[in-house]
Amino acid sequence: MAGRPLSVVILAAGPGKRFKSQLAKVLIPVAGRPIIRYLVDTARALEPERVIVVVGYQAEKVKAYLGQLPGVEYVLQEKLLGTGHAFKLAVEAMLAQEADKERDILILCGDTPLLRPETLVNLAETHYREGATASVVTVMVSDPVGYGRVLRDEAGSFTRIVEDADVAPAERDIREVNAGIYCFLLADILPFIDRLTMANRQREYYLPDILFYALAAGRKVLTVKAEDSGEVQGVNNRVQLAEAEAWQRRNILRDLMLSGVTVTDPASTYVDWGVIVGQDTVLEPGTVLRGATRIGRGCVIGPWSQLEDAIVGDGCRVWVSVVEKSELAANVSVGPFSHLRPDTRLGEGAKVGNFAEIKNSTVGSGTKIPHHTYVGDADIGAAVNFGAGSVVVNYDGQWKSRTAVADGALVGCNTNLVAPVKVGEGAYTAAGSTITRDVPPGALAVARGRQENLEGWVERRRPGTVSAKRAREAGEAQRTSEVREAPGADAGAESGSHEKG
């Protein structure tokens, strides 16, 4: 970027009282990403010499979240005395390390996460090209409440910015507002920093007053209007947070669609910042993609599915299901109404059907877990089939143990595999079995009690019930049928008829 050396200061010390939250405003996420990370990454995209983040409320949490990002420094504002005070602390820290004052400083407020690097480059280059001492981004909004108003004289020239708490009645309806983005020539504005006062209703040092002092001293002050109000909107309460979420979500989905992804209903599709989706994948209504999710090509996700930190291979289908911190190889099918919990890995062509739950397990290629099955803490081989109602019993009330089912095995319906246990290659378990010992390869494991039928039990033990009545009627009908079918019954009838004749 042409011009003087550039530094960026991000004002991120405030608590964000209007959020009514226990979390610092700059740590509140927009589309799955905290506000402060948007600002830091945007600042770093300009490749400045320094990025200084002024922290205050929950300073250690903010620093811990950002970690050791290259080129990012921190300045602590212990007493939250306003934006002017925060900026002064940043300048003092900067000058303590280097004496070069011939540099531009870009100042960003910690409530504008949707800024694009292109907008900031335009501001810095215009500021330098026009030889300005100070420049500020302004924007036209439909509702100016909460913003500093931009005042102009009769000729339309900028005169000053008045904070929302200090506006006069005649100024309340002014729709041009301060976007909280500035560019200052450090050498020129240094004399004005010490002139800032707290002579206002909020008893704070206002950063925009520097513009007024520079103008009064005959220095050049520029206003640069933002073309898109959504990009520079502040996020200071939950209503504005929802608006910012919607704006960011539209941009994310627009970029996905232009890259070759089909989004059948953008209004009901929610995709976090940073999610990757491959070409020819279809996102159906009700799809929610969060965190570090990566989806391959040619998949169908949804309807009504949520994936978080999931890795999905090409050609997969996930519908009406939840996938958390799990990996799906190519051509896997999940759903409907299934739940993949963390640390699940499905091999190529595996199928997880209706009402199945899997957690902390590996499932081999081509294995089918079709319906009403729980698999936890297990290693399942390739081409295994689980019958309906099968359960891996992984928890004994104190410890969780692992189960292994080898390639080609068949787990019969309503089988309980009580961990730790192994089912060998090609082995079968009979339906209704509770398996507590290892099953050798190719064996059939039968582990169920012998069936006994206690005749007449219902009539004796449940008299007067519908069941007893039906049982009695069935018994009578059975006895009548047996009499009619008894040997000699027809002969007797014929003999009687002959005697009468």
What pLDDT shows up at residue 496?
A: 44
Q: Does 493 have pLDDT greater than 50?
A: no
What pLDDT shows up at residue 500?
A: 39
pLDDT in tens, 31-68: 999 999 999 999 999 999 999 999 999 999 999 999 88
DSSP track, 326-389: -EE-TT-EE-SS-EE-SS-EE-TT-EEEEEEEEES-EE-TT-EEEEEEEEESEEE-TT-EEPTT
Give the confidence band of 399 by pLDDT, cuts at 50, 70, 90: very high
What pLDDT shows up at residue 360?
A: 98
The residues, any chain, with a CB within 8 Å of residue 38's CB and separated by 6 or more, are 30, 113, 114, 115
How far apart are the C-alpha atoms of 380 and 373, rounded to whole Å?
13
Q: Does 494 have pLDDT greater than 50?
A: no
Q: Is the pTM of this model over 0.75?
A: yes
The mean pLDDT value of the chain amounts to: 93
Tokens 């610092």, residue? 24
What pLDDT shows up at residue 371?
A: 94
pLDDT more than 90, % of the chain: 85
Tokens 């390390």, residue? 97
Q: Does 400 have pLDDT greater than 90?
A: yes
In the chain, the amino acid numbered 149 is R
Q: Does 499 have pLDDT greater than 80?
A: no
pLDDT in tens, 292-337: 999 999 999 999 999 999 999 999 999 999 999 999 999 999 999 9
| Residue numbers annotated as active site | 371
Neighbours of 428 (CB within 10 A): 20
Instruction: Name the CATH topology of 321-445.
Output: UDP N-Acetylglucosamine Acyltransferase; domain 1 (2.160.10)
pLDDT in tens, 152-188: 999 999 999 999 889 999 999 999 999 999 999 999 9
For residues 348-369, average pLDDT: 98
For residues 247-273, average pLDDT: 97
Q: Does 501 have pLDDT greater than 60?
A: no
Give the confidence band of 488 by pLDDT, cuts at 50, 70, 90: low
CB 413, CB 390: distance < 8 Å: yes
pLDDT more than 70, % of the chain: 96
Q: Peptide bond before 440: cis, by omega within 30 degrees of 0?
A: no
Q: Does 478 have pLDDT greater than 50?
A: yes
Q: Does 489 have pLDDT greater than 60?
A: no
Provide the token pair at 403.
């189960």
For residues 429-444, average pLDDT: 97
User: CATH 3.90.550.10: does it fit domain 6-232?
Assistant: yes
Q: What are phi and psi of 269, to 5 degrees?
A: -115, 130
Mutual angle of helices 59-66 and 35-45, in 10-degree steps: 50
pLDDT in tens, 110-139: 999 999 999 999 999 999 999 999 999 999
How far apart are the C-alpha atoms of 186 and 104, rounded to whole Å?
6
For residues 412-423, average pLDDT: 98
How far apart are the C-alpha atoms of 109 and 188, rounded to whole Å?
21
- Domains in the chain: boundaries: 6-232, 321-445
